[in-house]
Structure 1
């Protein structure tokens, strides 16, 4: 499964997964002053239970590392993932 990086405007970003013209998964953020404010994660019912949300978060975390950015969890999924795992400590804001 490959995600597409979408920059809808200079400060809003998303990793998205589309199939047959339909959005099945995404993680979105607003970037400001070197911080990615992680504000939304969505996975369709069709993909639930397959670890897609984690794959999206991992893609965003890798992007943060590559761009020397930090991540601020806002959406409930990212808040929970940051709380239960230390693997994202290097990108926590």
Structure 2
């Protein structure tokens, strides 16, 4: 079985204490990246991808989206989520927000 490509729009719900970037497909949330904001830090706390979308690139797209959001807000990111941390460290183009 082929993994479907992840081309769905990424949505964002956020507030002063944190939020999520997420993907909805057929009315259901199928991927998300959660973050918190406290004491001047923005921390990625969790990523989750529905089993049928694992390997589709959704996780990397969510990390890229929060990176762009951080750039737009002149923010620095850190991650306690192992997946997001690995993506941030592996991608040299994300170094400016680490």
Q: Same fold (TM over 0.5)?
A: yes
Paired residues in the alignment total 91
- Calculate the TM-score normalised by the size of structure 2: 0.84
Where is the strand percentage greater, Structure 1 or Structure 2?
Answer: 1
How far apart, CA to CA, are the structure 2 residues paired with 1:3 and 1:34?
Answer: 25
Q: 1:43-92 CA deviation, whole Å, 9 max, x = no partner?
A: 11121111110000000000000011110111010111122221211000
| Cα displacement (A) at 1:25 | 0.2
- Which residue matches 1:31? 37
- Which residue matches 2:67? 61
Q: Unaligned 5+ residue runs, structure 1? A: none
- Which residue matches 2:56? 50
- Which residue matches 1:3? 10
Once superposed, what is the RMSD of the aligned Cα atoms? 1.3
Larger Rg: 2
